[in-house]
Chain A
Amino acid sequence: MYGVFYFAAGMNEKTLVSPERMPLLLERLCLLFLERHTKPEEVAVVALQPRGVAFGVAWIHVLKDKFGVNIPDFGKLDITFHRDDYRKRDELDVPAETVMPFLVEKRHVLMLDDVLYTGRSVRAGLDAILSFGRPASLELMVLIERRFSRELPIEAHYVGERVDALSNQKVRVLWQPEPRVVLFNTTRSA
C-alpha cells in the first residue's frame, strides 16, 4: 500500500479518522444507503480499483453483519483505460483486474471510491461503468470527501467524512494493521 511506503519515508502524518471512529463512519454510510433504498439487495455495487475495492469490501461486510443486508452483485472496476491523463504523466498506470460478473443495464448502481478529490477518477469510473450497459440510476458513495478541490462538477450522494486538505497534502485510507484515515504532507507542491 502507498500509505505504508510514505510512513516508511518518515512523512509527517495526522490522523483524520481514528480506528475507533471508522466503524461508525461505515455504519452511518449503511444507514444513509438503506434510507434511500427499499430493495437494497437489488443494487449493484461497483468499487473502483484499487483503493475503492478495500473500502467496498469493508462496507459490504458491515452492511451484512450489522444490518443483515446481502449484496449479491459486487464488482471491481479498473478505470485505467478511461483516465483523461493517459500520455500526460511520466509513468503509465498499471491496470488492475476488472471483475464485473453482471451487467448494469436498467439496474440501480452504487459506485464506491475511498476518497473524492478532483473528481477525475469518478468521471473515468462513470465512463467505464457505462461500458457495461445503461443503468437505471447511478449513485456515488465515498468514505472521505476533500472539500473545495473538485476540478469537475461531481458530488457524492453518500459521504462518510468531509475533510479539508492542502493541495500538497495527501489523504490516505489505510486498512492495515487497523482501519484509519491519515493526512500527510508530500514534498511535491501542486
Chain B
Amino acid sequence: MSALSVPHLLGIRPLTADDIQLILSTARQFKEVLQRPIKKVPSLREITVANLFFENSTRTRISFELAEKRLSADVINFSASGSSLAKGETLLDTANNILAMKVDLIVMRHPHVGACHFLASRLKNYPLSAHARIVNAGDGTHEHPTQALLDAYSILEKFGNLTGLRVAIIGDILHSRVALSNIFLLRKLGAEVQLCGPPSLIPKGIEALGVSISHNLINTLSWCDVANVLRIQLERQKAGYFPSLREYARYFGINRQVLDRLSKSITIMHPGPINRGVEITAECADSEHSIILEQVQNGVAVRMAILYLLAGKADFAD
C-alpha cells in the first residue's frame, strides 16, 4: 500500500493502522534525509502550504515550517496575533480569503474543536482550492494528530514495536488533545494505555476508548514501559481543578525520588512546553530516561512524511 485512505489529516481517529504504519515508515526515510549534508528534497516544489496558527505555538509551528522547507514547498505563515482576526474577522472569512488565494496544503491550529473539519467541509465551495489538503496541527481539546504520530515514532525507535507495550499518559487528560490523539493511535497499534491524574482532570467515561485509569502515580509508573507526561496548564489551577500547583507536583509530579522507587527503568516523554518543577523536575526532564528532545527531532521527519503522503495523492481529486 502506498497511499493514505484519507484526503486530510484531521485526526488519528479516521486513520487505519495501515495509514499509521505508512506514515511512520515514510518518516524513517525522511529521518535519513535529515542526516545528509544537504537536508532538502525537491518533492513539494510545486506546492504552496499555508500555516494558519490561530493559537500560540512554538515547536509545532517551527517543526511544520522546517518540514515544508525541507520538502521545497512555498510557505505562507499566518498567526492570529497581528492578523485581521484581531479586528474581529471570523474563521470562515479568514479561511475563505486564504482558500481564494489557491493554496495546496493547509496546516491549521485553532482553539476550537472541529475547526479543521469545518474548513474541510468548506473546501468544495472554492474551485481554486477544492483540491487542498488539510492537516490538523491541534484543534482545541480535540486532537493533535502529528504529535501522537511523532510520539509513536519515538517510542518505536526506542522499542521497535508497540504491540503489548504499556504506555502511561499522566496529567491533564481532560483538556489534552495530545492525550486523545495518543490514545487513539496507541490503541490502533495494539499498545496498552493507562491514564493517570487527579479525578478532576480525567474525563468521565473515557474507559470506553479501551484505556485503564489510575489515580496513583507510583502504581502507574510501576506498570508502564513509557510515561508520557502532559503539561499542566496553569490556568486550570485557577479554574479549580486542583488546589495548588505544589499539591499537584507532590502527588503527580515526576521526580528523582519517584523514579528511584521503581524496580525498573522507564522511558519519559513530554510533548512540551515543560513546566519544570510542576509535572516533571528539571533533573528528570534532562535525564537519560527522557527522550523529549528526540521527540522534537522526530517531529520534523514525521511531518515531512505526512505532507509528502497527503500532497502526493494523485490529481488531488476525491
Contacts and interface: CB of A to CB of B under 8 A. Distances in A.
B36 A132 contact: yes
Contacts of B43: 81-82, 86
Nearest to B315: A87
B29 interface: yes
A131 B39 CA distance: 7
A103 interface: yes
A92 interface: yes
Interface of A: 78, 80-82, 86-98, 100, 103, 105, 127, 130-133
Q: In which size bucket is the chain B interface?
A: 20 to 34
Contact of A87 (B2, B25, B46): B46
Contacts of A132: 36-38
B315 to A, nearest CB: 8
A131 B46 contact: no
Nearest to A83: B43
A88 B46 CA distance: 12
Contact of A78 (B25, B29, B39, B309): B29
A69 to B, nearest CB: 28
Nearest to A93: B2
Given A87-B312, A92-B312, A98-B32, A130 B38 contact: yes
A97 B307 CA distance: 19
Contact of A91 (B2, B30, B38): B2
A92 B38 contact: no
A81 B33 CA distance: 9
A98 B36 CA distance: 11
Nearest to A130: B38
B36 A92 contact: no
Contacts of A87: 46, 311-312, 314
A135 to B, nearest CB: 12
Nearest to B35: A100
B240 interface: no
A96 B25 CA distance: 9
29 contacts: A80-B29, A81-B30, A81-B33, A81-B41, A81-B42, A81-B43, A82-B43, A86-B312, A87-B46, A88-B314, A91-B2, A91-B3, A91-B314, A92-B3, A92-B309, A93-B2, A94-B26, A95-B26, A95-B29, A97-B32, A100-B36, A103-B37, A127-B42, A131-B36, A131-B37, A131-B40, A132-B36, A132-B37, A132-B38
Given A81-B29, A81-B308, A98-B32, 4 more contacts: A81-B33, A94-B26, A131-B39, A131-B41
Contacts of A90: 314
Nearest to B32: A98
A-B residue pairs, 10 tightest by C-beta:
A81-B41, A131-B38, A95-B29, A92-B312, A92-B2, A131-B36, A94-B2, A98-B32, A90-B314, A81-B43
A130 to B, nearest CB: 7
Contacts of B311: 87
Contacts of B308: 81
A127 B40 CA distance: 11
Contact of B42 (A78, A82, A98): A82
A82 B41 contact: yes
A96 B29 CA distance: 7
A78 B30 CA distance: 11
A100 B29 CA distance: 12
Contacts of A97: 29, 32
